[in-house]
Structure 1
Amino acid sequence: MSRVLIAGESWVTQSTHIKGVDSFTVSSYVVGADPLRRALESRGHEVVHLPAHLVPAEFPGDAEALGEYDVIVLSDIGANSVQLSPQVFEQATPGQDRIAALRGWVGDGGGLLMVGGYLSFTGFEAKAAYRNTVLHEVLPVELLPEDDRVELPAGAHAQVTGAAHPALGGVEGDWPALLGYNRVRPRDGAEVLATINADPLVAVGTFGSGRSAVFTSDCSPHWAPTPFCEDWDGYARVFGGLIEWLAR
């Protein structure tokens, strides 16, 4: 059993209803991490979810805090949220360099998984911005300098290129369609285990004594529709395999 921290994968939606001359605003809070959490827990892993709104204040800031986990998962949470604690951003007081700490922790033997989304990799309007951080060199892929999203409204299927690799969890058969992903480029020395539209979908590699992996589509809607993240038994195999490979 591994202890896994999922950071991100939640959001607040606010909408304005306009009815004639009157209007009102409503808000909702959505947790997108549930399919991934359930899948990992079904394989015996302990999962801690740190929602996106708590990441700036509570993301682990040093090797000791990171060491409470075997694998860190960053999913749909931008580099700004990890880097800029309230102490730094609101009080202009030097604090911990949490991305540098995460880089060092992986180099010393930790496991890192980045899952795709609008605020993963380079992201929507390049706002995820991991290419501008030292975490870029930890990933088994190289990131684009511009908005890297590829929307696939008609859906597209993964092409598995490394079925025998343990990080895919022994999944067999065709994968359900996905509706988008972040475009990246494979890094020299990395292993691409699955592609989508000829771009990396699943890639793994090493950094120092540690391991890193990417799943460039999402773990929940909209890019990962219900047939993929809820109905397919291969979902738990793939993500379980990634976590177990990262945690050795």
Structure 2
Amino acid sequence: MEKDRRVLIAGESWSVHSIHQKGFDSFTTTEYSEGIDWLRTALEAGGWQVDYQPSHVAAREFPFTVEKLSEYGSVILSDIGANTLLLHRDTFVRGKIMPNRLQAIRDYVADGGGFVMIGGYLTFQGIEAKGQYRGSPIEEILPVHLQSTDDRAEFPQGVTPRVENDGHPIVAGLGTGWPHLLGYNRVSMKPDGKLVASVGEDPLIACGLYGRGRAVAFTSDCAPHWAPESFVTWGGYNRLWQQIVSWSAGLL
């Protein structure tokens, strides 16, 4: 598999620790989940080799160097906060100086790599602004500006995406009848960014150039809850993600 058809995805995993209180007594349970299946299946169906790092794995193993990232045609961050990549255990526990992996992503894109950020509670700024990407090297490469506060826009009633540039390769062949979404991260366009699709009054898909590379912001989710079953089972879902990642990698 050549480099241009390999993609690294970090994030899309979580653990839920529950306390069950029954009168005087209580006990706890912990459940681990991943939301990667729909996206991974979509990309593999398009001929991509997917290397997936759940958040706890990415904390340890996400690449530190441009050279290692350059093994991939595109890198995707989805629902994973900046702190997971900044605070390696050797730094947080042992006080050791380590490379800044957000800077490595920026320099990889400047050198010709592809980058995609997918929305969620811990990307862009996220819930209570805990994503912490504002002002970071990631915001530098994105085609959008990030808010300083909690940027979630929740639409339990559903909100329908609108294609703004039907001539763009990212949305080629997808038409206008997209399924609704249930929320997204609010961002604003940079002057040199290209708006491809919107949702509500805000960008949904934006793309742009950074150095010799390309970056895409998809401000909603690739899995529930913001991307409900009707979206992840939509006939255009696979094509959308194949074209997003292919464009970021310079293949479209």
Q: Which residue of 2 aligns with 1:242?
A: 244
Q: Any idea what SS the aligned residue of 1:130 has?
A: coil
Number of corresponding residues: 247
Matched residues, percent identical?
Answer: 47
Q: Which residue of 2 aligns with 1:113?
A: 116
Q: Which AA in structure 2 matches 1:7?
A: A
Moved more, 112-121 or 166-175: 166-175
Query: How far apart are 1:170 and its partner, in Å?
Result: 2.3
- What is the RMSD computed on CA atoms of the aligned residues? 1.0
Q: Which residue of 2 aligns with 1:79?
A: 82
Q: Deviations over 1:92-111 (max 9, x none)?
A: 01011111111001001000
CA distance in 1, matches of 2:229, 2:24: 38
Question: Any gaps of 5 or more consecutive residues in structure 2?
Answer: none
Q: Is the 8 A contact 1:169 1:242 kept in 2?
A: no
Q: Which residue of 1 aligns with 2:151?
A: 148
Q: Which residue of 1 aligns with 2:73?
A: 70
Query: How far apart are 1:169 and its partner, in Å?
Result: 4.2
CA distance in 1, matches of 2:135, 2:59: 18
Q: Which residue of 1 aligns with 2:101?
A: 98
Q: Normalising by the residue count of structure 2, what TM-score does the alignment of the two structures yield?
A: 0.96
CA distance in 2, matches of 1:206, 1:23: 54
Is 1:132 the counterpart of 2:108 in the alignment?
A: no
Is 1:221 the counterpart of 2:228 in the alignment?
A: no
Q: Deviations over 1:42-76 (max 9, x none)?
A: 11111011001111111110011101111000000
Is 1:56 the counterpart of 2:37 in the alignment?
A: no
Q: Deviations over 1:13-48 (max 9, x none)?
A: 111111121211111111101110001111111101
Q: Is the 8 A contact 1:111 1:246 kept in 2?
A: yes
CA distance in 2, matches of 1:164, 1:115: 22
Q: Which residue of 2 aligns with 1:161?
A: 164
Q: Which residue of 2 aligns with 1:233?
A: 235
Query: How far apart are 1:176 and its partner, in Å?
Result: 0.7
CA distance in 2, matches of 1:45, 1:164: 24
Q: Which AA in structure 1 matches 2:164?
A: T
- Find runs of 4+ consecutive structure 1 residues off by over 4 angstroms: none
Q: Is the 8 A contact 2:184 2:219 kept in 1?
A: yes
CA distance in 1, matches of 2:191, 2:120: 24
Q: Any idea what SS the aligned residue of 2:134 has?
A: helix
